[in-house]
Structure 1
Amino acid sequence: MASHPACTTSSPSALRTFFVSGMGTALEFYDFVIYGTAAALVFPKVFFPQMDPLTATLVAFGAFGAGFFARPLGGMVFGHYGDKLGRQKMLVITLLLMGLSTFLIGCLPGYATIGAGAPALLVLLRLVQGFAAGGEWGGAALFGIESAPVGRRGLWGSFTSMGIGIGGILGSAVFAVVSVAANDDLAGFAWRIPFWLGGVLVLVGLYARLQKPAQSLGESKGHGRMPLIEALRARPRAMLLCTGIAFGYVTIAYIGSTFFLSYATQLGYGSTDALIFDIALSVAIVITAPLFALLSDRIGRRKVMILGAFIMAAGFFVFFPLVGLKSLLVSTFAYIVIGAFMGATQGPIPAFLAEQFPRDMRYSGMSAAYQIGAALGGGTASSAATAILIANNHDAFGVAVYGAVALGIVAVCSFFLKETAHLSLEEIDAPLNGASATAPVPGRWQTP
């Protein structure tokens, strides 16, 4: 195992932690979200115009999903070096990669200009986005969790969950403004603007991460050891269950952030209406994720995760009929309610997964488990939901069943995972490294 230098335990403030962990992730996932939005509303026309609209949407979601299969590799690579060298360098690199690939997507010519080369380049840049996102989530979450005061790891870990929601709001808001300015015609020049803006906004997050205190986390003395291999050997059950939670949750998250957009437009809502729905859902997540995370600090992660999964599963069977009424007010309310309960799982997840691994393998273990689950779940969610909708003659009941099954997996895996809310980081580390209760807390983010 790694040996760490002794260090003081001065922690950054909640506001500073939120800005680095939450807002940095928000800017990065802004880029991720606008791709999903464009895949639902624009890319079928720009990159797959030779197909009928619904098939083109299915193929565009397939291209969107391709990035998910680069996420496990990103999680493993950045997790490995994050455990070996520290978190800060990895967070800077992931942000740079995401910003550059996002800006370049906005510069791509369409199918009408270069033919099949256009979707090929789109998928390539999407793979770079996925690789960067694979390392982002774990490092940003650990910045909050390892800096948290006693009894607040869930809340501080949820800053990353809030950042994902804020990124969704920013992405949808920018697309909504551009859509209105373009009179609902995004397929021309207008769709490029959010991507260019995303490339510029990343500079803000980059500044924040370069300014934050570096983590005094030493390299491993066991040069031949790999943290991920150690996690697989020492925590195989936790790895499997964390992967299951990620699979179920990310399936739901990307049904919500991409398929819901496409479903609304298929029902006849305009693209601006669909973006308003997405903003409403994201706002609800930002508000409720920290509340449910704080609740998990008090009553435990498992209870909150299981209860939230069951309520949201039932909610899916109400959500689709409400949206099917084609009322803007009723549909907005439905999106707000379903988003509110998404926060019940999204809020506690960062802390719940991170607490399953000791410090020397924490970045690698949680990132690999989460990103493998995300690839299997989120990478197929939008395409699978669309295919189910086509197979059932546009009846969304099958999609509700699909979502309920994914949430059932979240509940089952949460039940069998170790409850860690009331353990200290020293106690979490102790089974493998023999740390004493009075030892300094390694793995914290320190001021110089």
Structure 2
Amino acid sequence: MSDTLAPTEAPATTQRLTAGRVFAVSGMGTALEFYDFIIYGMAAALVFPAVFFPTADPLVGTLVAFLAFGVGFIARPLGAVVFGHFGDRVGRKPVLVLTLLIMGTSTFLIGCLPTYAAVGALAPVLLVVLRLVQGFAAGGEWGGSSLFGVENAPENRRGFWGSFTSTGIGLGSLAGSFVFLVLGLIPGLSLAAGAWRIAFWLGGALVVVGLIARTRMPDEKIDTKSAPRVPLLAAIKRKPKQMLLAIGVSFGYNTIAYIGSIFTITYALDRGYSDTESLVFQIVGGAAFMLAAPVMGFLSDRVGRKWLVAGGAVAYALFFFAYLGIVDSMVLVAAIVANILCNVFMAMPQGTIPAFLGEQFSQEFRYSSISTTYQIGAALGGGTAAPIATALLLGFHGDSLGVALYSTFACVVIALCALGLRETSKVPTAQLGA
């Protein structure tokens, strides 16, 4: 990452930035965010049904644990509205520092929670409360991280620099999966007996790394006097079509992302793979996603955004049917390769989405717009994906067809909404949102 941004190309900041420095702020911060979410999703599939919901049937307990996972998404749109407002009115830096601090604290406290055996129903209640707090902070995280890369990039690198946030998603997924794998392999440690707590404590401690990078962010010059009093209302008034289509893109993408990264753990376990094998799937998938996302962002600067997003959605939909069949074959090497391809196709839209959605809106209400639309879509799609997929698996008596059809529906939504948005890869930064 050797691109260097000249001062004349960076209206949002007063300091010279390199791609590596931008990645430390946007990519690493988002990596820590998604580490938090991935370890919860894995704990929900592997541990929490027994620790917090022990009275239910194992698969039903998993469904309830995923519902608790989805609760965090309820708070995300509210967090997007609140943090997006202050991100537009006050600046990106203080908001990004605060969201990361809240998320890290919540993650650490989840690791400290008492179990159902110790305090009864209070344990899952406390878990849900912390998920709500975590989700509220996450609502302002993704949009700000994405915009820090897009708004500070050279004209011909917005897709690539914006993809650092997507790269962070893969890095966080990889780290979370790796930590759970290591904890499961250490002799004398048992995930169900309490080793799962280490993953959450480690996530809380790692937030310090992100905070150091963000407190050293360059100060921004935000003209609050000319900004709308309520940026979100201004965006709704001026860009209603773009707001709705952006929600659709986010809904579809978050649906396939959380089915592909969270539900597939439960699916692999249900088909007979071991805990270790299912975690290996996630590790190789996270690595593939992390490497593919910046490539897709780079390509979007060359060939355009909308067709890459739409094409990636179609490719994912077609492949996902084969993916489930390959996993059902119980051939470990084939299942690993299938996970790699699944994550590459998933990275096609995600590596492009930060720049593609951010470029649809003017700077004065861009943080509010991208955060609110993305998080509404995340709540509708990501928050319900794993529970709906698990319920479909139950409803189809273990047949994966229902899950595949639901993923296809989400991909169709992505493609149609992306094609309805403006192609922005060649639009000058100063004219974005015009």
**TM-score normalised by structure 1 residue count:** 0.93
Are the equivalent residues in 2 in contact too, given 1:11–1:148 (CA < 8 A)? Answer: no
Deviations 1:9-64 (A, max 9, x none): 65410111111110121112211211111111111010000000000000000000
2:297 aligned with 1:287? no
Are the equivalent residues in 2 in contact too, given 1:19–1:208 (CA < 8 A)? Answer: yes
Aligned to 1:337: 341
Map 1:193-272; keep pairs closer than 5 Å. Answer: 193-221=198-226, 225-272=229-276
* Structure 1: distance between partners of 2:176 and 2:13: 39
* Structure 2: distance between partners of 1:7 and 1:316: 41
Aligned to 2:109: 104
Structure 1 residues not aligned, in runs of 5+: 432-448
* Structure 2: distance between partners of 1:309 and 1:217: 36
Which residue identity lines up with residue 239 of structure 2 in the other structure? R
Are the equivalent residues in 1 in contact too, given 2:15–2:218 (CA < 8 A)? Answer: no
The number of residue pairs the alignment matches comes to 425
Are the equivalent residues in 2 in contact too, given 1:25–1:164 (CA < 8 A)? Answer: yes
Are the equivalent residues in 1 in contact too, given 2:155–2:429 (CA < 8 A)? Answer: no
Moved more, 382-391 or 31-40: 31-40
Aligned to 1:275: 279
Are the equivalent residues in 1 in contact too, given 2:12–2:222 (CA < 8 A)? Answer: no
2:82 aligned with 1:77? yes
Deviations 1:54-102 (A, max 9, x none): 0000000000000001100111111000000000000000011001000
* Structure 1: distance between partners of 2:429 and 2:77: 26
* Structure 1: distance between partners of 2:188 and 2:329: 25
Aligned CA distance change for structure 1 residues 8 and 261 (closer, same or farther; 3 Å): closer
After TM superposition, give the deviation of residue 172 of structure 1 in Å.
Answer: 0.5
Counterpart of 1:169 (choices 166, 171, 174) is: 174
Which residue identity lines up with residue 105 of structure 1 in the other structure? I
Are the equivalent residues in 2 in contact too, given 1:86–1:218 (CA < 8 A)? Answer: no
Moved more, 280-289 or 154-163: 280-289
Aligned to 1:400: 404
Instruction: Report the identity percentage.
Output: 54
* Structure 2: distance between partners of 1:8 and 1:129: 29
Aligned to 1:442: none
Deviations 1:354-408 (A, max 9, x none): 0010000000001000000000000100000000000111111110111011001
Cα-Cα RMSD: 1.5
Aligned CA distance change for structure 1 residues 328 and 90 (closer, same or farther; 3 Å): same
Aligned to 2:126: 121
Moved more, 260-269 or 180-189: 180-189
Structure 2 residues not aligned, in runs of 5+: 1-9
Report the secondary structure of 1:107's partner residue. Answer: coil
Aligned to 1:368: 372
Counterpart of 2:27 (choices 18, 22, 37) is: 22
Aligned to 2:5: none
Report the secondary structure of 1:189's partner residue. Answer: helix
Are the equivalent residues in 2 in contact too, given 1:182–1:190 (CA < 8 A)? Answer: no
* Structure 2: distance between partners of 1:189 and 1:401: 37
Deviations 1:222-264 (A, max 9, x none): 67x2000000000000000000000000001100111001111
The runs of at least 4 consecutive aligned structure 1 residues that moved more than 3 Å come to 5-11, 182-185, 220-223
Aligned CA distance change for structure 1 residues 208 and 10 (closer, same or farther; 3 Å): closer
Aligned to 1:440: none
Aligned to 1:180: 185
Report the secondary structure of 1:190's partner residue. Answer: helix
Deviations 1:162-194 (A, max 9, x none): 001100001000010001115784111111000
* Structure 2: distance between partners of 1:111 and 1:284: 37
